[in-house]
């Protein structure tokens, strides 16, 4: 949230956090999940900029021990999502933003990341009544070989390679650049390991 705090404050968006303490550890890529949150918050911000107010962003986390899942909800008070768009919302190149703003790839990317972690993502919305995006992820223990590992070894720096990060949304571009900078495996929440991009021999990315 720190990455988006300033633009949210500038546009008079009130942020409400309702976060469950002591959530169980997720075996997941923290950088990818961070990208999902940034995309969802950025989309909510853009949606609320289409209305005069009030502008309120709510972030809520919950744990369901019976189902063994963690739930993240990101809600906004924007104009909502038309039903005909909701049916195709997570398809590539589908967007609710004005022409020339947004690629329509953010939510498709979010779905790919969440489903790649064994979870699910959906949107709940009525026109004129804002939107809620719900992400559910399974609570999984690390593989046995990872629990026994002493930890990743530092990789030598790769010289002579550059990565060009291009996105029309500064917040998303900043997140991607941060992930690319963290090239080697790194610890995430609860000792998880996250992986950044790997260079392709003989070619820049």
pLDDT at position 116 is 95
Question: How many CB atoms neighbour CB 202 within 10 A?
Answer: 6
Question: How many CB atoms neighbour CB 24 within 10 A?
Answer: 13
pLDDT at position 170 is 72
pLDDT at position 205 is 42
| Strands of 53-174, DSSP E | 56-64, 69-76, 120-125, 131-138
- Say which CATH class 2-142+152-194 falls into: alpha beta
Q: Which residues of the chain have pLDDT under 50?
A: 150, 183-205
pLDDT at position 95 is 74
Residue 70's nearest CA partner among 134, 144, 146 is 134
Q: Is the pTM of this model over 0.75?
A: no
Q: What are the residue boundaries of the structural domains of the chain, listed by start? A: 2-142+152-194
């Amino acid at each position: 949230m720190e990455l988006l705090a300033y633009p949210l404050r500038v546009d008079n968006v009130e942020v409400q956090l309702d976060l469950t303490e002591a959530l169980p550890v997720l075996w997941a890529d923290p950088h990818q999940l961070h990208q999902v949150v940034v995309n969802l918050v950025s989309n909510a911000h853009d949606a609320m900029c289409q209305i005069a107010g009030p502008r309120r962003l709510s972030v809520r986390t919950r744990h369901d021990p019976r189902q063994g899942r963690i739930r993240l909800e990101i809600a906004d008070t924007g104009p909502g999502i038309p039903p005909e768009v909701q049916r195709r919302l997570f398809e590539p190149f589908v967007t609710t933003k004005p022409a020339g703003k947004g690629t329509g790839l953010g939510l498709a990317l979010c779905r790919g990341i969440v489903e790649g972690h064994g979870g699910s993502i959906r949107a709940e919305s009525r026109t004129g009544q804002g939107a809620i995006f719900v992400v559910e992820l399974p609570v999984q223990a690390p593989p046995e070989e990872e629990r026994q590992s002493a930890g990743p070894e530092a990789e030598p720096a790769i010289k002579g390679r550059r990565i060009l990060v291009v996105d029309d949304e500064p917040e998303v571009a900043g997140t991607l650049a941060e992930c690319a900078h963290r090239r080697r495996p790194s610890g995430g929440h609860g000792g998880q390991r996250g992986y950044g991009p790997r260079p392709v021999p003989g070619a820049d990315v």
